Structure 1
């Protein structure tokens, strides 16, 4: 029997169960009685030895991200580790794969092991249902994805603005059928889709529903979707993707068809990586301050650990549009 079993039986979080069992007074009497009744009914027996070992806060922090294979998260993770080591802390890295069950499991693990703090890139589900209770038990900083209805420290970029500027740049090169591939399991993907559609309107281009796809942020999924779009009777003449993994899959599909970029199809994406700069043609990207995001988030977390009562902050860092060869003007427009 574990804390999560009590939490499931009572419909509350593991953090609330932990507060009741540790005798903390920031729980209502009604909720306290509900939890204690479940403890008795389920015959829960806490591990006293483990509780003793955890009586002091651990010297590690948790970093919970969507997918470390993403160039975005890889750079961010490096920054978090650098700052943590400077403060004599270690980092436990967890990948959710945008899976809410995995996310819940890792959060429960961090709470149970009394992590000093958590840096979290929440799934779409948690972003929309986030409450102060999630960060009450353990200091937390949310990165990359904005959460609703909570006062928690966050480090973000303006995804709508960045996507709008990228789309306006592409559309104004003369492309008429601009496709968009967006991660469907995060607020980031939704915000970038919104900016994409705003950018098309601003540039006076058509929003073509059949060319806009929400999909899992995986390379193989992007390859399949892009292959399908290229097989349309009227295929796109440009494509924008919302992440590095989607970019890799989509660009591979274009290479499979041996289509010249940008003459047959223009290409642009979020997330700078080694291949976007080194491939020919080089790829137009929205370069995010990934290291700065991780560094800022970790520094904010340690300040929160030192002073849990300090006012919460939302830091919005600037991205950069890097214009390269993959979105050059259409050949017809230059002749």
Structure 2
């Protein structure tokens, strides 16, 4: 990828002259201007819209790319990123990709041209090759929640596998004899880690069978569909670990519709710790991620990279916590829903 210095060398002028041609903020004679334009065309040089590389300026703007702004988990991350960024006088450019590869690719190209200072990305689709243009432009990247390369990029995530183990061990501790798992899509690193945590515990029991795992989308409808299949195929399950709280919300609604008492017939545990789990009847037991803290840690890591305080890749894995609520409190009488 050509740089402004390459253009200046090819045109036989200074970097400052190239900058003046692009910014059109100072006079450059027509002959020199034409040399610069030809050099840019031959080198396929694309100046950023804000010309950061030309003027040596920093825009104090970082981008945050998230897959689904409607999922209550991600605004919590975004708030952590924004609060820390503001403390260091950085603005945050928010990109909602809808978990679509073409949107993420388009955003990456736009962000490179807009000359952001750095990027925090949560993605299941982006690969290292697609981030290479940012690296070539000296734009650091931090992977949040869903890492795909832990050697070349700094990563901030929670301990997903350990959280799944905590969930299953809690269900066993309250007396569950056959525990099913609603797993997220396998393309998600977080879903795979939580499934592996579940399997690591239940595989030692004679009652375990792969039919106790049902994959679904990380949303309420996914939870509804999965629990319907699980109950139909495994009539004796008495515990369910859902791979995220939205699926747990859907599972709870469908279990009640199927005439199951939660938790006495089937106990239920989710994962994430979003506030919606406190609004149900019964309230849903969950593995609480430090959502805000994850966003804050990612922003701080990125800013330290920009300031040159961190040069190596850094992996931060934050602890999770079991929050016990009504959906696993067997034998406890709950008030009637109104």
Q: What displacement does 1:48 show?
A: 5.4
Q: What displacement does 1:111 show?
A: 1.4
With normalisation by structure 2, the TM-score equals 0.77
1:65 and 1:95 in contact (8 A); partners too: yes
State the distance in 2 between where 1:48 and 1:192 align: 44
For residue 50 of structure 1, give the secondary structure of its aligned residue in structure 2: coil
Q: What residue number does 1:211 align with?
A: 212
1:222 and 1:246 in contact (8 A); partners too: yes
State the distance in 1 between where 2:180 and 2:263 align: 14
Q: What displacement does 1:141 show?
A: 1.1
1:131 and 1:149 in contact (8 A); partners too: no
State the distance in 1 between where 2:306 and 2:215 align: 37
CA offset digits 1:155-191 (Å, max 9, x no partner): 1112111111211111233323322112213100000
Q: What displacement does 1:59 show?
A: 2.9
Q: What displacement does 1:194 show?
A: 0.2
Q: What residue number does 1:197 align with?
A: 199
Please say if 1:85 is aligned against 2:67.
Answer: no
Q: What displacement does 1:317 show?
A: 1.1
Q: What displacement does 1:76 show?
A: 1.1
Q: What displacement does 1:291 show?
A: 0.9
Q: 2:2 aligns with which of 20, 24, 30?
A: 20
Q: What residue number does 2:49 align with?
A: 50
For residue 215 of structure 2, give the secondary structure of its aligned residue in structure 1: strand
Q: What displacement does 1:259 show?
A: 2.0
Gaps of 5+ in 1: 1-18, 25-38
CA offset digits 1:47-103 (Å, max 9, x no partner): 658364764333321111122222221211111111122222221222233322222
Of stretches 44-53 and 88-97 in structure 1, the one that deviates more from structure 2 is 44-53
1:144 and 1:157 in contact (8 A); partners too: yes
**Aligned residues, how many?**
296
Of stretches 69-78 and 96-105 in structure 1, the one that deviates more from structure 2 is 96-105
Q: What residue number does 1:268 align with?
A: 269
State the distance in 2 between where 1:280 and 1:310 align: 49
CA offset digits 1:206-264 (Å, max 9, x no partner): 33222212222222222222223333362632211111222222222123224211111
1:139 and 1:308 in contact (8 A); partners too: no
State the distance in 1 between where 2:98 and 2:223 align: 15
State the distance in 2 between where 1:83 and 1:270 align: 25
Going from structure 1 to structure 2, the CA distance change for 1:53 and 1:23 (only over 3 Å counts) comes to closer
With normalisation by structure 1, the TM-score equals 0.78
Gaps of 5+ in 2: 7-37, 333-338
Q: What residue number does 2:326 align with?
A: 325
2:52 and 2:115 in contact (8 A); partners too: no
For residue 231 of structure 1, give the secondary structure of its aligned residue in structure 2: helix
Q: What displacement does 1:313 show?
A: 1.2
Going from structure 1 to structure 2, the CA distance change for 1:233 and 1:303 (only over 3 Å counts) comes to closer
State the distance in 2 between where 1:70 and 1:148 align: 24
Matched ranges for 1:147-226 at <5 A: 147-148=148-149, 150-184=151-185, 185-201=187-203, 204=205, 206-226=207-227
State the distance in 1 between where 2:5 and 2:310 align: 20
For residue 122 of structure 1, give the secondary structure of its aligned residue in structure 2: coil
Going from structure 1 to structure 2, the CA distance change for 1:93 and 1:308 (only over 3 Å counts) comes to same
State the distance in 2 between where 1:183 and 1:250 align: 13
Q: What displacement does 1:309 show?
A: 6.3
Q: What displacement does 1:143 show?
A: 1.0
For residue 2 of structure 2, give the secondary structure of its aligned residue in structure 1: helix
State the distance in 2 between where 1:200 and 1:176 align: 10
Q: What residue number does 1:294 align with?
A: 295
